[in-house]
Amino acid sequence: MKRVELKDVSKSYDGKTKVIKEINVDINQGEFFVLVGPSGCGKSTMLRMIAGLEEVSNGSLYIGEELANKLAPSQRNLSMVFQNYALYPHLSVQQNITFGLHTKKISKQEQKKRCLEAAEMLGLSELLSRKPRQLSGGQRQRVALARAIVTHAPICLMDEPLSNLDAKLRAKMRSEIRQIQRKLGITMIYVTHDQTEAMTMADRMMILHNGEVQQIGKPLEIYNQPVNTFVASFIGSPPMNLADCIVEADAIKVDDNRSILLNKHVTNLFHKGDEVTLGVRPEHIQIAKNGNMSFFADVVNVEVLGTETLITFGVGNGQWIAKWHGQWNIDIGERVPLYIDENDIYLFEKDSGVCRWHQQKKEQQSTLKEAIL
């Protein structure tokens, strides 16, 4: 197994405009590390720099303990699975899986042994004689994965490998890829624009936006403690509800008719009259009970999904979505009393988008933990 480290890595095609800006990250041995972000954020470019398919403009790239900036792709001892599978149509499944092993001077007997092991692991044993055109999308994806596995490379790179599959097959392949990575213990770097894939597969993940790192951490850490409004709105399905608000003496004013009461500790982080962005996760918007109520809101849409119901409300100048467990019979146009606990509220600086309250809570929890220890 090998680790991968990027130190102040940047990428520029014209020498001026940076599409990747000073990336610093240490990807541990045996880790499933996910690069996630919207299209055009630079995640595939970063993966291609690690693979050696793009040059590093500035900074240092280490694979293991070796500086890899000038190493050819064949010298980096890694494998890669592409978005379009890149299978040879005139070769059989077995030939596709073992293609390239002869350049490593591996005997035919060893090639066959590795092929059969990978095929059994991925459920391809009955398909070895077929051509790619005779396979389904999921089967082609397995062949591409098997081709990466048989190299026995300690690092595997994956560039949106599931984007061409339907939703059900994607969910199945997510589980299979994660199980294979754990079984083999390889270091896997996985690119996706799908935050569900990132949340369910990653040991750690990096959020990229416009070529800049927004946040690095474990999925639940990023979900529960987003550093800014971009991360908060990108991670989560449905995404976090956001609204521009004004700080009052003991509350956050959403619009002329609605406000949410907060304690002094929270409001003291800002000054009265400050403009902030309020954030609330859909699952934290509750039906008001026992006299606890934040405000009324009018229902504009209802989606019953079976195990949960998504209710869309008009709030401020926009719309918020609440996610409630079970099947709710609520009519469009109905006015509903809502409650939001102050501990479930995120407050972001309006100009910078930085989350101040949760950052301070994190620091306080760290201080309290140190005091207890």
User: Using CA of residue 321, residue 322, residue 323, residue 326, what is the dihedral sign?
Assistant: negative
Inter-residue contact 230 to 195 (CB < 8 Å): no
- Rounded mean pLDDT, 168-185: 86
Compute the distance between CA of residue 193 and CA of residue 199 in angstroms, rounded to an integer. 11
pLDDT at 101: 85
- Tell me which of 7-11, 68-72, 133-137, 258-262 is least confident: 258-262
- Rounded mean pLDDT, 187-208: 93
pLDDT at 371: 46
- More confident of the two residues 266 and 325: 325
Distance set, CA 40 to CA 47, 92, 161, 210, 245 (Å): 13, 35, 17, 7, 31
Inter-residue contact 304 to 287 (CB < 8 Å): no
Compute the distance between CA of residue 244 and CA of residue 249 in angstroms, rounded to an integer. 17
Residues 16-74: tens digit of each pLDDT: 888 999 999 999 999 999 999 998 899 999 999 999 999 999 999 999 889 999 999 98
- Rounded mean pLDDT, 155-180: 86
Q: Which homologous superfamily is 4-225 in?
A: P-loop containing nucleotide triphosphate hydrolases (3.40.50.300)
Tokens of 32: 């499933």
Inter-residue contact 311 to 283 (CB < 8 Å): no
pLDDT at 350: 84
Mean pLDDT over the full length of the chain = 87
Please tell me the class of the 230-372 domain: mainly beta
**Global confidence as pTM:** 0.87
Neighbours of 337 (CB within 10 A): 14
Best CA proximity match to 149, nearest among 196, 100, 205 = 100
- Rounded mean pLDDT, 98-108: 83
Category of 171 on φ-ψ map: left (φ > 0), alpha (ψ -120 to 50) or beta: alpha
Category of 195 on φ-ψ map: left (φ > 0), alpha (ψ -120 to 50) or beta: alpha
CA dihedral defined by 96, 98, 101, 103, rounded to 10 degrees? -40
pLDDT at 359: 52
Written in H, E and C, the secondary structure of the chain is: CCCEEEEEEEEECCCCCEEEEEEEEEECCCCEEEEECCCCCCHHHHHHHHHCCCCCCEEEEEECCEECCCCCHHHCCEEEECCCCCCCCCCCHHHHHHCCHHHHCCCHHHHHHHHHHHHHHCCCHHHCCCCHHHCCHHHHHHHHHHHHHCCCCCEEEEECCCCCCCHHHHHHHHHHHHHHHHHHCCEEEEEECCHHHHHHHCCEEEEEECCEEEEEECHHHHHHCCCEHHHHHHCCCCCCEEEEEEECCCEEECCCCCEEECCHHHHCCCCCCCEEEEEECHHHCEECCCCCCCEEEEEEEEEECCCEEEEEEEECCEEEEEEEECCCCCCCCCEEEEECCHHHEEEEECCCCEECHHHHHHHHHHHHHHHHC
- More confident of the two residues 63 and 292: 63
Best CA proximity match to 355, nearest among 232, 273, 243, 235 = 232
Domain boundaries, given as residue ranges, for the chain? 4-225, 230-372
Residue appearing with tokens 């976090």: 240
- More confident of the two residues 266 and 62: 62
pLDDT at 245 over 90: no
Inter-residue contact 157 to 79 (CB < 8 Å): yes
